[in-house]
């Protein structure tokens, strides 16, 4: 699949910067990972617009500027082990793979996992481990994590995920009632507990327990 032309890519990056994505490593990763393959069907021609788009299983691929803001807030370093809860299209995990040592991504819909794995293999992103599981419980076997990113909204930062964050680690998660605008929160874990700061209002699908009913 051919990527966007130079002008489309330039407009895409300009839109990211104008929305507050200024971290050079994040912008480089988002320039390197083409959003096109992660958008399927009738929406493929809108892959480079700054808007969320529907994907399978009633989920969405977040608008690029929100992906950029969340990734920037996570402050990923090249040695970090990252957990993503909510693989979705795989776009966020692919960008994280360019910034971190290892990415574990968990999704409750098996179909989305299969489709994301196909793209990761095609792009030769070998440092991503994708699995079908209830992400609200995290991945205790692989914990602790340097960074955790949640791409679905919870009423509060989930306790199991907080427990799997390293001392000095950062989690970025949208919180709030699922049918209203939520707030993107950054949580830092210190020796004495957790510090929270608000980043911006966002809208995400709710974080649901259990596995999806698809095949």
Identify the three-state secondary structure at position 116. Answer: helix
What is the DSSP secondary-structure string of 21-43? ---HHHHHHHHHS-SGGG--GGG
- Tokens found for residue 121: 């293999």
Catalytic residues: 62
- Helix H or strand E segment including 170: strand 165-175
- Tokens found for residue 103: 């990415």
Identify the three-state secondary structure at position 97. Answer: helix
Read off the DSSP letter of residue 155: S
């Amino acid at each position: 699949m051919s990527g966007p032309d130079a002008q489309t890519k330039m407009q895409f990056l300009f839109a990211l910067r104008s929305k507050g994505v200024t971290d050079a490593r994040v912008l480089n990763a988002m320039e390197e990972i083409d959003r096109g393959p992660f958008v399927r069907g009738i929406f493929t021609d809108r892959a480079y617009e700054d808007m969320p788009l529907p994907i399978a299983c009633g989920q969405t691929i977040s608008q690029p500027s929100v992906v950029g803001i969340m990734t920037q807030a996570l402050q990923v370093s090249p040695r970090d082990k990252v957990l993503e809860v909510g693989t979705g299209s795989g776009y966020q995990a692919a960008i994280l793979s360019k910034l971190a040592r290892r990415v574990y991504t968990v999704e409750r819909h098996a179909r989305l996992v299969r489709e994301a794995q196909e793209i990761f293999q095609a792009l030769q992103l070998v440092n991503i481990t994708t699995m079908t599981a209830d992400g609200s419980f995290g991945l205790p076997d692989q914990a602790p994590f340097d960074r955790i990113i949640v791409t679905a909204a919870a009423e509060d930062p989930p306790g199991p995920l907080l427990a799997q964050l390293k001392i000095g680690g950062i989690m970025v998660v949208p919180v709030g009632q699922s049918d209203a605008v939520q707030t993107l929160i950054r949580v830092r874990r210190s020796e004495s507990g957790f510090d929270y700061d608000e980043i911006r209002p966002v809208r995400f699908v709710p974080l649901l327990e259990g596995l999806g009913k698809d095949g």
